[in-house]
């Protein structure tokens, strides 16, 4: 059960409590409700697999103490499929323990959904408009924000302030795969008109020369997009050589983009090598702190996607991909529990489960890079 699915389960328990007259509170509908019910890893003093403070959030509206609200919701949550138990800690935190093996369920879910893991289906029917100035970084961030929002079921229109865009900028946008729906101030705004949170840069990124002699020609489309998307909005991107932009091309551990793409390529290589040895991935229990760390990153991916969409902040997704890649590289290099058999060793259930986890990691990395508009090569 993913965090998004668990949020929906908590919402369902709230609705049942309201229908039964145990609580009197307005239950949020649709995906807005999922956003209002936050589930996360238990903090110190907590227990179980996940925790939520929803009882504290709705207590005042319900006219009861948070502890009382938690006691009402606890048995209904515990009766839901996939939940093994619910404990109440502190003033009213609900600590949820999931049924079954965590790795098997999570990895199986990732492999079933593929690159669409963490996406919202069907469409929510929500509309959004992103309006930005005619500057390269703002337009690239807007394009990535559109992709992330689309993954969350929202239809998006991207518009640009400039009625007339210089030819070199249009050429750069074409090389980078950036789509702008309309130029100039729109005559009629959609319900949500919200700018991408890119702060004004005293030295805005210029696209001089487009795909041949400018930024795109120096770094290539993938590295250029990463250079513009990875920094937080208040940080200046490193694009040109004098800014250190060449660092995005080096194939070293110091380059976050390389680590993400290398981790994906390693996942693909493990899958190919396993096929040559005659065995396939099968989700199952995977032991070890390194595996737990990687599972934590995969588990958090849908939550990160939702937050990146909500805040129009693809940099959050980029940083999560780096964390996932680092967790995977640590996991697959642990010698005491290798992913592939060694020597004359025959593939075991443990090997199949670890291979499935490796493939799930590669799937998430490829899906995340795709949302950023960056390719994920199988060979690197």
Q: If pLDDT is split at 50, 70 and 90, which confidence band does 210 have?
A: very low
Based on the fold, state whether residues 236 and 265 are members of the same structural domain: no
Rounded Cα distance between 48 and 65, Å, is 23
Q: CATH number of the domain at 321, please.
A: 1.10.730.10
Element (H, E) at 352: helix 349-371
Does residue 248 fall inside a structural domain? no
Based on the fold, state whether residues 213 and 279 are members of the same structural domain: no
Helix (H, G, I), strand (E, B) or coil at 83: strand
Does residue 331 fall inside a structural domain? yes
Structural domains in the chain (count): 3
Question: What mean pLDDT is predicted for residues 179-196?
Answer: 66
Contacts of 350 (CB under 8 A, 6+ apart): 284, 286, 337
Mean confidence (pLDDT) of the chain: 85
207 pLDDT above the threshold of 70? no
Based on the fold, state whether residues 329 and 226 are members of the same structural domain: no
In angstroms, what CA-CA distances link 350 with 220, 298, 346, 355?
41, 19, 11, 8
Rounded Cα distance between 188 and 32, Å, is 25
Rounded Cα distance between 244 and 242, Å, is 6
Lowest mean pLDDT among 216-230, 237-251, 303-317, 329-343: 329-343
Contacts of 197 (CB under 8 A, 6+ apart): 233, 311, 312, 313
Q: In terms of residue numbers, what domain contains 203? A: 127-240
Based on the fold, state whether residues 309 and 339 are members of the same structural domain: yes
pLDDT value for 145: 96
Based on the fold, state whether residues 9 and 53 are members of the same structural domain: yes
The answer to whether 211 touches 175, Cβ cutoff 8 Å, is yes
Based on the fold, state whether residues 92 and 139 are members of the same structural domain: no
Based on the fold, state whether residues 264 and 191 are members of the same structural domain: no
Given 186, 208, 240, the domain boundary residue is 240
Lowest mean pLDDT among 58-62, 87-91, 205-209, 294-298: 205-209
Percent of the chain at pLDDT > 70 equals 88
What tens digit of pLDDT does each residue of 91-141 get? 899 998 877 667 888 999 999 999 999 999 888 888 888 888 888 999 999
Does residue 280 fall inside a structural domain? yes
pLDDT value for 7: 87
28 against 72, higher pLDDT: 72
237 pLDDT above the threshold of 70? yes
Does residue 119 fall inside a structural domain? no
Based on the fold, state whether residues 261 and 363 are members of the same structural domain: yes
Best-predicted range by mean pLDDT (3-17, 240-254, 316-330): 316-330
Based on the fold, state whether residues 366 and 267 are members of the same structural domain: yes
Rounded Cα distance between 380 and 164, Å, is 40
Give 85-121 as a DSSP string. EEEEETTTEEEEEESS-HHHHHHHHHHHHGGGTT--S
Element (H, E) at 192: none
Given 205, 240, 275, the domain boundary residue is 240
> Is the model's pTM score more than 0.85?
no
342: its two tokens: 């060694």
Based on the fold, state whether residues 133 and 218 are members of the same structural domain: yes
Considering only CA atoms, which of 263, 249, 248, 242 is closest in space to residue 328?
263
Does residue 178 fall inside a structural domain? yes
pLDDT value for 204: 57
Does residue 113 fall inside a structural domain? no
Q: If pLDDT is split at 50, 70 and 90, which confidence band does 262 have?
A: very high
In angstroms, what CA-CA distances link 133 with 91, 309, 349?
47, 20, 54
Given 240, 267, 295, the domain boundary residue is 240
**Phi, then psi, of 182 in degrees rounded to 5:** -160, 145
Q: CATH number of the domain at 60, please.
A: 3.30.1360.70
Does residue 247 fall inside a structural domain? no
């Amino acid at each position: 059960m993913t965090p998004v699915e668990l949020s929906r389960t908590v919402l369902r328990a709230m609705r049942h409590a309201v229908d039964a007259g145990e609580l009197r509170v307005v239950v949020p509908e649709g995906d807005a409700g999922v956003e209002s019910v936050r589930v996360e890893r238990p903090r110190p003093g907590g227990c179980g697999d996940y925790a939520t403070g929803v009882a504290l959030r709705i207590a005042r509206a319900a006219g009861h103490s948070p502890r009382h609200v938690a006691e009402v919701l606890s048995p209904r949550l515990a009766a839901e499929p996939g939940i093994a138990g619910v404990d109440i800690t502190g003033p009213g935190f609900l600590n949820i323990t999931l049924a079954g093996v965590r790795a098997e369920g999570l990895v199986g879910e990732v492999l079933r959904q593929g690159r669409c893991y963490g996406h919202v289906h069907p469409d929510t029917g929500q509309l959004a408009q992103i309006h930005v100035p005619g500057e390269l970084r703002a337009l690239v961030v807007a394009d990535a924000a559109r992709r992330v929002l689309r993954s969350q079921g929202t239809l998006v229109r991207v518009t640009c302030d400039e009625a007339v865009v210089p030819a070199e900028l249009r050429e750069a946008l074409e090389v980078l795969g950036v789509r702008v729906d309309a130029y100039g101030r729109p005559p009629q705004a959609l319900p949500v008109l919200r700018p991408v949170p890119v702060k004004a840069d005293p030295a805005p990124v210029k696209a001089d020369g487009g795909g041949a002699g400018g930024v795109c020609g120096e770094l290539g489309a993938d590295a250029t997009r990463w250079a513009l998307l990875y920094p937080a909005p208040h940080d200046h991107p490193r694009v040109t050589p004098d800014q250190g932009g060449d660092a995005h091309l080096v194939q070293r551990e110091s380059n976050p983009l390389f680590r993400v793409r290398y981790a994906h390529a390693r996942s693909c290589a493990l899958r190919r090598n396993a096929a040559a040895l005659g065995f396939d991935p099968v989700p199952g229990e995977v032991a070890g702190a390194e595996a737990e760390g990687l599972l934590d990153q995969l588990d958090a991916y849908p939550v990160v996607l939702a937050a990146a969409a909500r805040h129009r902040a693809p940099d959050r997704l980029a940083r999560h991909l780096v964390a996932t890649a680092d967790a995977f590289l640590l996991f697959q290099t642990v010698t005491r529990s290798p992913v592939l058999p060694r020597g004359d060793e025959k593939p075991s259930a443990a090997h199949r489960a670890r291979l499935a986890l490796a493939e799930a990691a590669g799937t998430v990395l490829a899906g995340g890079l795709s949302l950023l508009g960056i390719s994920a090569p199988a060979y690197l």
